[in-house]
Amino acid sequence: MDQDLQDIADKIIKYLDQKNVQYSDVRADQQIKKSALIENKDIEHIKNNENKGVGVRLIKNGTWSFCSITNPNSFDKIKNILDNTIKNSDYRKIKNKKIKLHSNTVNKKEINFPVLKKTDIEELIKIGFECNKIISSTPKIIKSITHASYTTNSKYFVNSEGSEILQNFTDIIMEMVATAHESGQTQSVNLTEGGRGGLELITNKIQQSAKEISKKASELIYAKPVKEEKATVVMNPDFVSLLTHEILGHPSEADRVLGKEMAWAGGAWWKGKIGEKIGSEKLNVFDDPTIKESLGWYYFDDEGVETKKTTLVEKGVLKNHMQNRETSEIFNTIPTGNMRATDYRFMPLIRMACTCIGNGDQSVNEIIKDVKNGYYISNMKVPSIDMNRYNWNISCQYAQKIENGEITDLLRDVIVMGTAPEFFNSIDACGNDFTVRPITNCGKGDPMQSMMMGNGGPTIRGTAIVKSVN
C-alpha cells in the first residue's frame, strides 16, 4: 500500500479523536486489477484498473455516519468532508435506540498472504489462449470465452480503539464459457476457477476444466428434457455451493434476520429459530474465513474482528448467525468476523466468507447406488428465491437420470425446486468429497455491493421437484 494512503488513514483517526465522536474507524483500500477477455481465439480487450481511497465510519449521538474519499491528497479538503459527516449525525439523533458495539481486542498486525507462483497478465493471457483453443476445437462449439483476471489488494484498517491492521493479498480468477449449436439447439456450459493466491491455483487444472465444459456443452445438444416430478436428487459440490450460498448463507446474516437488509430478497426463513431443528441430522453448516486459498479467506474483517470458523447449523439444529459488533450485542453473542465491504466507497455489511455444508462419510458412488429413481444434478447456474429465501428454484448446467443405482440419460435445461425446511429435512446422505468453489459476484445492499467469496460442500442427497424449462 502507498505509505501516503496509510498515513492519511492515521491522520483521520487522530483528527476524529478531537471531535467528540464515540467511535470511528477508517478503511484504506488500494486495488490494482488486470484482466483480459478472449473470445474465439481473439483478444477482445485488456484492462488495467487502479482504485484507491478511504472509507470513514463514525458514531455520534448513537448513530452511524459515513463518508468515502477517492484518491485523497489534501488533508484540508478531507477535514471539510469529515466535519460535514460529523454534522450529519446531529440531524439523525435517535432517542431510544443507541448503537452499541461489542467489545473487541485491539490488534496491530501486518499480514501478507502467500503467492507461491507470481501472477502477471502475460502469463494469464497465455493460459487463457490455451483454454480458448481447447474449447474452440471441440465439435459443435460456436463460441468460446475465457476471461482471466488478477487483483492485488491492500487493505489497512485503523480505529479509535487502537487497532492497526494491514492485509495484502492477490485474487486470481479464470472464467470460461463453451457454447455449442447444432440442429437448432444451443447449449452453454461455464466454469470459474481461482482463489486467493497466485498462478498455482489454476495452472494444474484449468486446461482439463476447459476440456470438460466444451465436451459437456457439445453433448447437451442431444440431451433430453425431463418431465416434472418430485424425486430423489443427488447434487454435486458445485451445485451445492450455490444452494448453500442462497438458502443457507444469506439467511444466516444477522442483519437479514433482523429485517434490516431487505433489498434483493433480504429476509431469512429461519428468523427466530435459534435452537430449533431446521434440517436433518446430516446437515451441518458453517462459515469459515480461515479456509486457505478460498476467495473468502481473510484474517480480520472490516471492523478489525479476528476471524474464526462459526458453526451455523449442527446436526440439523440452528445454532448461530453471522454477526457484526452491533448485531452481536442484540443477539447477546460475539462477533463472528463477517463484516465486509466491496471497497472503501461502501459501508461494511454482514457478508459470507466461505459458507459450506460440512463433509459426510459416504463416497459419491455409494450415494448414487442406493437411488432407484432420481437425478444427478451438476453445476450451478441461475437461482430464483422469494423474499425470505424459503421457496427456491435453481437451474443446473446439466443433469443425468439415475435408474437402479446407475447414471443413464443426459438431461438439459433442468431446474430443481423446493422449500427450504422440506428440502433440508430430506437430506439423508452427505459425501466425503468436500469442495470449495469460488463465487465472484455476490450482490447485497442498497446501493448494491458486489463481492467475491467462497462457498462449498460435498455431494448431498435429498428430495426435490425436478423439471425442464423447455
Same domain flag for 306 and 359: yes
- 304 near 337, Cβ under 8 Å? no
Same domain flag for 127 and 89: no
Split at pLDDT 50, 70, 90, the class of 94 is: low
Split at pLDDT 50, 70, 90, the class of 235 is: very high
C-alpha cell at 469: 424449462
Scanning 103-250, the segments in alpha helix (DSSP H) are 121-136, 206-220, 237-243
Q: What is the pLDDT of residues 371-401, one digit of tens each?
A: 999 999 999 999 999 999 999 999 999 999 9
Same domain flag for 178 and 325: no
Same domain flag for 425 and 439: yes
Residues of the chain above pLDDT 90, percent: 93
What's the start-to-end Cα distance of the chain, in Å?
51
Rounded to the nearest integer, the mean pLDDT of the chain is 96
Question: Quick one: which H or E segment has residue 45?
Answer: strand 42-60
Judged against a pLDDT cut of 60, whether residue 438 lies above it is answered with yes
Split at pLDDT 50, 70, 90, the class of 306 is: very high
Q: Are strands 141-159 and 391-403 parallel, antiparallel or unpaired?
A: unpaired
Q: Alpha-carbon torsion 90, 92, 97, 98, what sign?
A: negative
Judged against a pLDDT cut of 90, whether residue 91 lies above it is answered with no
Residues of the chain above pLDDT 70, percent: 99
Specify the range with the lowest mean pLDDT, choosing from 183-197, 262-276, 316-330: 262-276
Same domain flag for 129 and 216: yes
What domain range is 347 assigned to? 229-468
Split at pLDDT 50, 70, 90, the class of 228 is: very high
Tell me the C-alpha distance between 211 and 408, whole Å: 21
- Residue 282 phi/psi, 5° resolution? -75, -15
Q: How many domains does the chain have?
A: 3
Buried b (16+ CB within 10 A) or exposed e, 37-55: bbbeeeeeeeeeeebbbbb
Same domain flag for 233 and 375: yes
Same domain flag for 295 and 155: no
Contacts with 273 (C-beta within 8 Å, 6 or more apart), sequence order = 318
Q: What is the pLDDT of residue 97?
A: 74
pTM equals: 0.96
Domain boundary among the residues 91, 109, 127 is at 109
Judged against a pLDDT cut of 80, whether residue 93 lies above it is answered with no
Largest CA distance in the chain: 74
Q: What is the CATH number of the domain that holds 134?
A: 3.30.2290.10
Q: What is the pLDDT of residues 165-174, one digit of tens each?
A: 999 999 999 9
Q: Do you find a cis peptide bond into 335, omega within 30 degrees of 0?
A: no
Domain boundary among the residues 192, 220, 248 is at 220
Judged against a pLDDT cut of 60, whether residue 424 lies above it is answered with yes
Same domain flag for 332 and 463: yes
Split at pLDDT 50, 70, 90, the class of 89 is: confident
Q: What is the pLDDT of residue 469?
A: 87
- 164 near 48, Cβ under 8 Å? no
Q: What is the pLDDT of residue 470?
A: 72
Tell me the C-alpha distance between 359 and 248, whole Å: 16
Domain boundary among the residues 64, 79, 109 is at 109
Specify the range with the lowest mean pLDDT, choosing from 103-117, 148-162, 262-276: 262-276
The closest of 147, 150, 148 to 119, measured between CA atoms, is 150
Same domain flag for 208 and 241: no
Same domain flag for 99 and 132: no
- 273 near 318, Cβ under 8 Å? yes
Judged against a pLDDT cut of 70, whether residue 418 lies above it is answered with yes
